[in-house]
């Protein structure tokens, strides 16, 4: 792990860093906030949305005061592999900046786009070796990252003690963003897509290890009806008997202004589950 710069914030330390990932075959960038004290600390993994890097959450979410108060660290990785030789697409919702937190199986994406393996294996191993972190983790994210947080938590429940999301892509098998990305990364067989659909995973009982899932959604979000489809997530939870706290907020949009308003409540939600 190479640390490129550090900043003092809310009594703790914020580091920007990069490391080599076996899963992606590339250098991956991230930020890590550690609260005041010596640690080791429990921590949150934050997954960002389309077009984001490790910097968007770090500079815009305003999460570190709450993290310092609760004594939890926050790890924020980039959203995809990048660099020379890494496949890309001119559109914002495919390729670099749009990894969707799955392992691609189709060319040209399969060579580097292994974001599920990266987050659940390489990232965890790297940050726990380089920073004073405990093996007690929660996961949360926004939009594409909300999809990632929900699906990775349900597919790897042994890794995470809690899960929450802001405005997640709730059923990517049934929305344009997901259909485009899954067609490219996973191929035409829609059956293979189902393992990466939060609503379908909840309906199948995969969220049972979690006592509650916290979701915040702005009702002024322009993507709510066409892309996010929170009603499908809510219906799946009701069918499975899964506790899901879905809070709808009048007037809030899809931006980090919305997240900054409620991020402290998400940090507290996870801190309670991390002990």
70, 254, 266, 270: which is the annotated catalytic residue? 254
Q: Is there a catalytic annotation at residue 221?
A: yes
Could you tell me which residues are beta bridge partners of residue 27?
A: 20
DSSP assignment, residue 22? T
Is 216 one of the catalytic residues?
A: no
119 and 145 Cβ atoms separated by less than 8 Å:
no
* Active-site option among 170, 171, 221, 270: 221
From the candidates 143, 164, 170, 171, which is the catalytic residue?
Answer: 143
The CA distances from residue 250 to 219, 223, 253, 260, 266, in Å, are: 5, 14, 9, 15, 18
The sheet carrying 73-77 orders its strands as 2-9, 12-20, 27-34, 73-77, 41-47, 133-142, 163-166, 213-218, 244-249
Residues 29/80, Cβ–Cβ less than 8 Å: no
Q: Largest Cα–Cα distance in the chain?
A: 50
Report the relative pairing of strands 27-34 and 12-20 from DSSP bridges: antiparallel
- List, by residue number, the catalytic residues: 143, 221, 254
């Amino acid at each position: 792990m190479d640390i490129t710069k550090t900043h003092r914030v809310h009594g703790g330390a914020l580091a920007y860093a990069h490391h080599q990932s076996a899963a992606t075959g590339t250098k991956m960038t991230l930020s890590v906030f550690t609260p005041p004290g010596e640690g080791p600390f429990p921590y949150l993994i934050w997954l960002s949305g389309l077009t984001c890097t490790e910097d968007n959450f770090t500079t815009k979410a305003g999460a570190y005061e709450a993290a310092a108060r609760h004594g939890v660290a926050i790890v924020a990785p980039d959203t995809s592999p990048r660099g020379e030789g890494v496949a890309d697409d001119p559109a914002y919702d495919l390729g670099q900046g749009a990894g969707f937190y799955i392992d691609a199986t189709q060319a040209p994406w399969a060579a580097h786009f292994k974001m599920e393996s990266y987050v659940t294996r390489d990232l965890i191993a790297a940050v726990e070796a380089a920073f004073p972190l405990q093996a007690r983790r929660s996961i949360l994210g926004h939009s594409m990252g909300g999809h990632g947080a929900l699906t990775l938590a349900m597919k790897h429940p042994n890794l995470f003690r809690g899960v929450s999301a802001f405005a997640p892509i709730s059923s990517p098998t049934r929305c344009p963003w997901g259909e485009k990305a899954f067609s490219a990364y996973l191929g035409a067989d829609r059956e293979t897509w189902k393992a990466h659909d939060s609503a379908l995973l909840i309906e199948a009982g995969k969220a049972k290890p979690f006592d509650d899932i916290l979701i915040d959604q702005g009702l002024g979000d322009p993507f709510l009806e066409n892309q996010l489809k929170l009603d499908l997530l809510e219906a799946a939870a009701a069918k499975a008997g899964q506790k899901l706290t879905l809070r709808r907020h009048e007037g809030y949009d899809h931006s980090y202004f919305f997240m900054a308003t409620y991020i402290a409540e998400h940090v507290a939600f996870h801190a309670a589950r991390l002990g």
